[in-house]
Amino acid sequence: MLKEDSLKDKVIVITGGGTGLGKAMGKYFVELGADLIIASRKMDVLEATAKELSESYDRNVLPVQCDVTDYSSVENLLKTSVDKFGRVDVLLNNAAGNFISPTERLSHRAFDIIINIVLKGTYNCTLAFGKHWIKEKQKATVLNIVTTYAFTGSAYVVPSAAAKAGVLALTRSLAVEWAKYGIRFNAIAPGPFPTKGAWDRLLPGDMKDKFDLAKKVPLKRVGEHQELANLAAYLVSDFSAYINGEVITIDGGEWLKGAGQFNMLEMVPEEMWDIIEQTVRKTKGS
């Protein structure tokens, strides 16, 4: 979507950058000229992705083992990135944990693990990188990946919904507070974009076939990874320099379809509308 070299020489850290949507966004960033640091817990996965991306696009892709729930691990990520590239321009908080479960079945540790990865992981990274940027008087951009149920809430993924809502509040709060330091904050709320990580935990086994998420989307399809990458690249690029504190939904209209009170009327067959119209018209003057 963006022209060649739109992200030239930007240094971008992506948490959870070895798999799924993090990998897809990273791939497009290097294609547009960025250098990358990809960080998560599984070093073998990160190394394979780093090799694939750096060979394809002749840019630097540095894999760094990091558990975002651990502040000292995040500080190590910052130090390793700055030692290698001299600076970091963009932090993309993408790492997440999630699984479906009735909430009453969760142990407090199960609740903790999701909140710790999603909300604590995001504030750990934001705080460590933010303090560094403020000290160095460096302009920067933070992009946070949330979900549409950050605004609506969702049954059966309650720790994730609570954590993503917290990430959205953090995004909007710091967009105002740290604007004076030249640090921009935005978020993306994706709808369904099939990835192994998400689908194995949210639609396990034959649930994939029983619950076709494409059917919930007015556009009747799930998202393509490149569509998300296009939006992310724009939001971390200088073309979006005046966008701050925004959350952009990319879901084919899915959450609005669930919200509109009469949206279910799409199930009414075309031929029934004549009868319905006549019935309603008969109420005139009553």
DSSP for residue 3: P
d(CA 168, CA 9): 28
Q: Which of 123, 149, 234, 242 is catalytic?
A: 149
Q: Closer CB to ligand NAP, residue 60 or residue 195?
A: 195
Count Cα atoms within 13 angstroms, Cβ side, for 257: 17
Asked if 123 is an active-site residue, the reply is no
Residues composing the chain: 286
110 binds ligand HXC (CB under 6 A): yes
d(CA 91, CA 147): 18
Going from the C-alpha of 285 to that of each of 274, 279, 282, the distances in angstroms are 20, 13, 8
- 229 phi and psi angles, rounded to 5 deg: -60, -40
171 binds ligand HXC (CB under 6 A): no
Is 180 exposed, middle or buried, given 0-12, 13-18 or 19+ CB atoms closer than 10 A?
exposed
201 binds ligand HXC (CB under 6 A): yes
192 binds ligand HXC (CB under 6 A): yes
197 binds ligand HXC (CB under 6 A): yes
Applying CB under 6 A, among 2, 41, 82, 245 the residue interacting with ligand NAP is: 41
- For the chain, the straight-line distance linking the first and the last C-alpha, in angstroms and rounded, comes to 56
Total chain residues near ligand NAP (CB under 6 A): 29
Instruction: In angstroms, give the least distance from the CB of 147 to ligand HXC.
Output: 4
**Which one of ligand NAP, ligand HXC, none is in contact with 171 (Cβ closer than 5 to 8 A by kind)?**
none
| Window 104 to 123, contacts with ligand NAP (CB under 6 A) | 117, 121
Applying CB under 6 A, among 98, 144, 186, 244 the residue interacting with ligand HXC is: 98
Stretch that binds ligand HXC, among 47-55, 106-114, 232-240, 273-281 (CB under 6 A): 106-114
113 binds ligand HXC (CB under 6 A): yes
Q: Closer CB to ligand NAP, residue 54 or residue 154?
A: 154
- 99 phi and psi angles, rounded to 5 deg: -165, 155
Applying CB under 6 A, among 14, 62, 66, 142 the residue interacting with ligand NAP is: 66
Place of tokens 């990874």: 225
The one-letter amino acid at 145 = I
d(CA 273, CA 136): 65
Binding string, residues 189-228; x marks residues near ligand NAP by CB under 6 A: -x-xx-x-xx------------------------------
Instruction: In angstroms, give the least distance from the CB of 276 to ligand NAP.
Output: 36
Place of tokens 């619950």: 211
94 binds ligand HXC (CB under 6 A): no
d(CA 116, CA 114): 5
Applying CB under 6 A, among 6, 94, 237, 244 the residue interacting with ligand NAP is: 94
35-40, strands of its sheet edge to edge: 61-65, 35-40, 11-15, 90-93, 140-145, 183-190, 247-250
Stretch that binds ligand HXC, among 29-37, 95-103, 242-250, 276-284 (CB under 6 A): 95-103
Count Cα atoms within 13 angstroms, Cβ side, for 221: 5
**Contacting positions for ligand HXC (CB under 6 A):** 96-99, 101, 105-107, 109-110, 113-114, 147, 160, 192, 197-198, 201-202
